[in-house]
Each structure stands twice: as C-alpha cells, then as structure tokens.
Amino acid sequence: MAAVFRTTTPHMLRDSQQLGSRTLMGGLSGFESPVGMDRRDRLDALRTGDIGFVHSWDINTSVDGPGTRMTVFMSGCPLRCQYCQNPDTWRMRDGSPVYLDAMVAKVERYKDLFASTGGGITFSGGESMMQPAFVSRVFRAAKEMGVHTCLDTSGFLNQNYTDEMIDDIDLCLLDVKSGDEETYRKVTGGTLAPTITFGKRLAARGKKIWVRFVLVPGLTDSVENVERVARICEEFDGAVEHVDVLGFHQLGRPKWHQLRIPYPLEDCKGPSKELRERVAAQFRDHGLVVY
C-alpha cells in the first residue's frame, strides 16, 4: 500500500516557520565552506575534524544551556525519532561542509558575549556525536578561550567519544527518550543501553547533565516508562542538575510533509496539564529537580 502524505495547511506552515525562527534561524551565514574538494578529500577532512557538516546555527538564550548560546546544528543522525521536529537534519550529506577554523573564529567572535552572560557554545543536531572529531576540536579550542561548552545528544553513539573528548564538555543535555527498552526502540529505532553508558561516563568524569525527556501521550507517558527514566537518572550518581519534561507538540509536522516522510504522530495531541503534573511528580519523588 502506498504511503499517504497529509497536506500542510498554511496555518501549520506558519507555526513551523515561527518555530524555525527561534531554533534554526542562522543558516550558514558567515562561514567559509570548502570549495573544490572531491568526495575522498571531504571524507578525510571529516575524519580528522578539519571540516564538519553543518545544517545551521543560531544565537539564543535559555534554550540550549545556560546564558546566551551559539547553538550549532550538525547534520546527520542515526535515530529516527517519531517526534523529531527537524527531520531535515537526518542525512549528513544534506548539510554544508564548514572549515574547522571558520567555526573556531565564529566562537571567538562571540566570546565576550558568552563571558558577560554566562553562555557558550552548544553542539546539537541531528546528532552531534556523529562528527566527534570536528565537535571535540571546536570544544578544545573553546575551552582554551575560556568558553563554556555544551553537548546536546541522545548518547546513542557513546562509543564515538573518548574520555579525552568528554573532558572538554562542561555540560551535557542528554536525551533519555524512554526508560523502557521496547518503548525506546519504538520511539527511535535504536537501543537504550548506549545512552545509559554515556551518562555514567559523563558522571564519572565530573560532568553536569540536564536530562531531557519528551512526553508524548500514548507513547512515552506510561507510569512504568517514566519510573524507569527516573531510575536511569539516579544511575548518573548525582550528575543530573535537573530534568526537562518537554511536552510533545506538532510544530515539526510540516517538515515531515514537505520531505514526503510518513509522519507517525499525525493525530497525536500534546500532553494535558494533569499529565505533565503527574510526570513531574514522579521525577520529584526520586529527588530530581524538574523544569
């Protein structure tokens, strides 16, 4: 049976564009991209971290870490989350190659702003751990400038990161997408264990963690699933500063339509106030701070 694609209404498209203006507004203005490199050269440069494939970047406040952040959205992701609001970042080849030096220069340009606001640089995605050499080299340069570093990740690619790379991370926004293995696989297509392992590695090296959990009615909201997420947080040995319970919304739906990808949560509603309060209470019962 052929896939059925819904039509994006003008209202939906407007909402999506408003979201984009808050999260993916930067494009790639101000970055110099490699010209004249063949495929092999690009793969070699990607492996060494001399270039990274970037979707876009933004300057924001109180969204992707403390203070004013330069958030860089990397291209490429191994997971296929049902509620993903940026499916246009899934394929690395859809991003634009950016020189390492150009990215470091951009961080240096804003370092005084970061210092005055307690901000810094955040790598997000897609999945930033798909390009560990590039991200870690930018973080190393940022640390040498005294700039705060933050990694936004699912932790699914835990094995991509060495302990030395972790040492240059000040804060991790760790997406614990489910506490139940079966639900995790349903939500993402992947497995839960690497996320737990990465969280433990962060904690062991003294890094702070903000756990993010997307609350989707009928998918991630069961009492048992939330309890397991809370218990996972406890395994991180006090490293979790707080848990962000993020209510599901439909602002990313038009992108699925535009890319002609069947959208599994087409008719799903956001969580009610009562559901959000119940879930928040479950986390607080485990001694966790909830935002």
Instruction: Give the number of other CB atoms < 10 A from CB of residue 168.
Output: 18
Q: Name the more confident of 132 and 14.
A: 132
Distance CA 150, CA 186 (A): 28
Strands 96-99 and 51-61, by their bridges, are: antiparallel
pLDDT of residue 138: 98
Nearest CA to 290 out of 196, 215, 206 is that of 215
Structure tokens at 144: 């040498």
Distance CA 248, CA 43 (A): 36
Q: Which amino acid would we find at residue 224? A: E
Cis peptide before 27 (omega within 30 of 0): no
The conformation of residue 26, written as its DSSP 8-state character, comes to -
Q: Name the more confident of 164 and 62.
A: 164
Mean of pLDDT over the chain: 89
Structure tokens at 269: 């509603």
- State CA 288 to chain mean position distance: 21
Lowest mean pLDDT of 19-23, 158-162, 210-214, name the range. 19-23
Q: Give the ranges where 24-61 is alpha helix by DSSP (H).
A: 39-48
Distance CA 249, CA 270 (A): 5
Q: What is the pLDDT of residues 58-101, one digit of tens each?
A: 999 878 999 999 999 999 999 999 999 999 999 998 999 999 99
Distance CA 104, CA 140 (A): 10
Domains with residue ranges and CATH for the chain: 10-24+51-284 (3.20.20.70)
| Residue 173, H or E segment | strand 171-175
Judge whether residue 17 has pLDDT over 60: no
Distance CA 156, CA 154 (A): 5
Distance CA 91, CA 255 (A): 14
Q: Measured in Å, how far apart are the chain's first and last C-alpha atoms?
A: 43
Q: What is the pLDDT of residues 206-256, one digit of tens each?
A: 999 999 999 999 999 999 999 999 999 999 999 999 999 999 999 999 999
Distance CA 125, CA 55 (A): 8
Angle, helices 39-48 vs 132-145, to 10°: value is: 50
Structure tokens at 121: 């640089």
Judge whether residue 15 has pLDDT over 80: no
Distance CA 233, CA 239 (A): 9
Q: Give the ranges where the chain is alpha helix by DSSP (H).
A: 10-23, 39-48, 100-109, 111-117, 132-145, 163-167, 181-188, 193-204, 223-234, 253-258, 273-284
Residue 29 pLDDT level (bands cut at 50, 70, 90):
low
Distance CA 202, CA 211 (A): 12
Hunting for tokens 């860089």 — which residue is that?
72
